[in-house]
Structure 1
């Protein structure tokens, strides 16, 4: 999840963190860490796993680490995606980050690194981090230095209800944008809501524009636009037009502009309860659909974002990201030990089996059993290009403007041209 709801998400879970009072929200990263009079080191671990099963699994892992390290205590702070991002922005500005914290990498992590707030993990994790899946490590390597360790990797794609597709006479998932729009029309003709969207949270809508930009202008266009601080290239404007074409079909569930992602009436539950045929979401989707709703079981399928006819991008270029853990500068050795524990094969197997994550430790691949997660992994392994979530790839202000502008386009208050102009304006202001 932004977005990303690593997040966003089974791990990007975007439900309200029940039971987190103002104490957790006002906690200042790093303040409670360090040694105590009895020689115990307390590590503060901030993450976004607020939905089940990840919330319980992660708490269990913390207990397991404590059992193996009697002189270490893990204090868990869990925040839903958007609350986490805003809190971390405030902590970054204050110069204090938690001992161990969730990161999606990219521009947000770079900003924290540039501020001198993040530990360089290149040397003290090398012996065991070298064996992790290379694509999973990419978002956290800046200037050839490693600043976080991945625990998940994945991509955004369409999760769909096979039974509803069958009812609408759709025999196979669409592979082109025009075919996708046709599928939306067929579903509507049968009285089926084609798509669920958490319009209130903005980042899920960004996925559509980002993928359409990749497919239309080509994957390199997004990085070029960021480097030049100019997002007004014709292909990026066309991406907004393609999205507008979809929006004009009124494909989303009733009240989508006020809908959250993982609440009982939100995007994931709408799909999980069979009330919408599709959602564009990450590999955590099945887990959150089952937690927020009933889940679709064998009726759930997955397909990659379609190609745009005449576009410069390929269907094998994927958009997504993973989750990683970074450490604040000067974090205790116990925090490094915790990262090693979290990146071990036994921990990864548990995450794969119980939370549906895609393995980053090669030895944990054998634990994959879900056919949809296997399909996602196959897409990732065959990927010819990879683009990190835009609200993480770019610096926070630009990423937020992408989310806000695309949300405005979906709501009908901004044109495709105005979206690119707004993002450009923000990018130039960040110079």
Structure 2
């Protein structure tokens, strides 16, 4: 999906030194006396090489997506940092990646390190004993370097399985040039948004680029409307299977979504446009509004972008009568890399892994795609994408987050959610039927 994020040779030498000292042995790993000047023992300690296999969804090293940029910069930096570690990366794009890692997990053929989402998506890997718990390794000071709450989606039964990279949020992007041409204003309320949609349509401008053909962009709109009507706590309770989808608040959110569909806010055929096509519509000035993750910042402000300098980002409008507020966000920290439980050279892999994760967090932020989940100096931030800077300012006072539904739900629940949402988007069920169907399929009995 969207998708969407971070030791030195001296460190390796230090580890080897500590190991030899702790053992109190008079023999080296090669069988030579400890401290021997034997060329064989010196070479073994200094240049022993290992190979680490890594899979990710970052398939295109030339992508302008901030997440991709950050990933490849972190990968290159890690390779340079550890010359005696060969990282063999395989990138698989889109839904094919999810299929590949699920298949590999079932066959117990996962790579040493692999990209994953947290929440419900990660649960089968945990249940199948496929990934390495990190809580003991992370007591080396790593936990203290993380922003509080950013490991929640990677923690199961009080065990930590992944480190975060970034805090991702879905944001409302508006093309200020198109807004001005239509006489529309930045929407602060739901009524403002509906008025803008009518003004844009009158100028033959598609109001909102959706991309529902790929399903998850429609989920973003449904999710934020649920957040505005019910609040993040209520939404998270349903995703955690402790509350009901079929409530007056979520029914009201469904009616808001239907208002947009009926108003042709997403165009004549909401299901007819893919994610890539919808992004292209926005980037070429054919659509005025985009509700999407910060990973699009790099594309919007790329040197050759037709909308560079013409786009502003704002909080999603408030809705009168809703229990949510403007400082509750769709998003959070939900993407990570996991380490295979059966990985060899665990301690060395951990050192490489944590360096890579922290570096990726920094580079993704510098590429303008989400705030870093790691504390500390981010280096020269003077050239950080202005949209990313503003998103950081807008979300600094966040009072709640609710992460992507397709990652929080697991297995058949995710497919059930998408199936129901697509029927609803196609106008085949009412808002009330939609919430009842979600409840019956995902949270029966709640």
Q: Which residue of 2 aligns with 1:407?
A: 422
Determine helix, strand or coil for the equivalent of 1:46: strand
1:256 to partner: Cα distance: 4.7
Within 5 Å, which residues of 2 pair with 1:357-396?
357-362=370-375, 363-364=377-378, 367=381, 369-396=384-411
Q: Which residue of 1 aligns with 2:338?
A: 326
Q: Which residue of 2 aligns with 1:167?
A: 181
Counterpart selection for 1:317 from 317, 320, 328: 328
1:151 to partner: Cα distance: 1.3
Counterpart selection for 2:118 from 102, 105, 109: 105
Determine helix, strand or coil for the equivalent of 2:290: strand
1:281 aligns with 2:292: yes
Name the TM-score, length of structure 1 as normaliser. Answer: 0.83
Give the whole-Å Cα distance in 1 for the aligned partners of 2:306 and 2:135: 40
Please tell me whether the aligned partners of residues 367 and 385 of structure 2 are also in contact (alpha carbons under 8 angstroms): no
Give the whole-Å Cα distance in 1 for the aligned partners of 2:370 and 2:306: 17
Q: Which residue of 2 aligns with 1:294?
A: 305
Within 5 Å, which residues of 2 pair with 1:18-417?
40-51=49-60, 52-53=63-64, 54-55=67-68, 58-126=71-139, 127-171=141-185, 173-226=186-239, 227-228=241-242, 230-253=244-267, 256-262=270-276, 266-289=277-300, 294-322=305-333, 323-332=335-344, 333=346, 334-344=348-358, 348-354=361-367, 356-362=369-375, 363-364=377-378, 367=381, 369-417=384-432
Give the whole-Å Cα distance in 2 for the aligned partners of 1:85 and 1:342: 22
Please tell me whether the aligned partners of residues 154 and 380 of structure 1 are also in contact (alpha carbons under 8 angstroms): no
1:430 to partner: Cα distance: 12
1:371 to partner: Cα distance: 2.4
Give the whole-Å Cα distance in 2 for the aligned partners of 1:57 and 1:182: 38
Name the TM-score, length of structure 2 as normaliser. Answer: 0.80
1:60 to partner: Cα distance: 4.7
In structure 2, relative to structure 1, the CA distance for the partners of 1:225 and 1:354 (3 Å cut) is closer
Per-residue deviation, residues 136-175 of structure 1 (Å, max 9, x unmatched): 333222333221111111211211111111111123x212
1:221 to partner: Cα distance: 2.0
Deviates more, 1:249-258 or 1:140-149: 249-258
In structure 2, relative to structure 1, the CA distance for the partners of 1:341 and 1:280 (3 Å cut) is same
Please tell me whether the aligned partners of residues 218 and 313 of structure 1 are also in contact (alpha carbons under 8 angstroms): yes
Superposed CA RMSD: 2.7
Determine helix, strand or coil for the equivalent of 2:165: strand
Paired positions, count: 394
Q: Which segments of 5 or more consecutive residues in structure 2 lack a partner in the other structure?
A: 6-46
In structure 2, relative to structure 1, the CA distance for the partners of 1:191 and 1:285 (3 Å cut) is same
1:113 to partner: Cα distance: 1.2
Determine helix, strand or coil for the equivalent of 1:352: helix
Question: Radius of gyration: which is bigger?
Answer: 2
Per-residue deviation, residues 186-212 of structure 1 (Å, max 9, x unmatched): 111121111111121100000111111
Deviates more, 1:102-111 or 1:302-311: 102-111
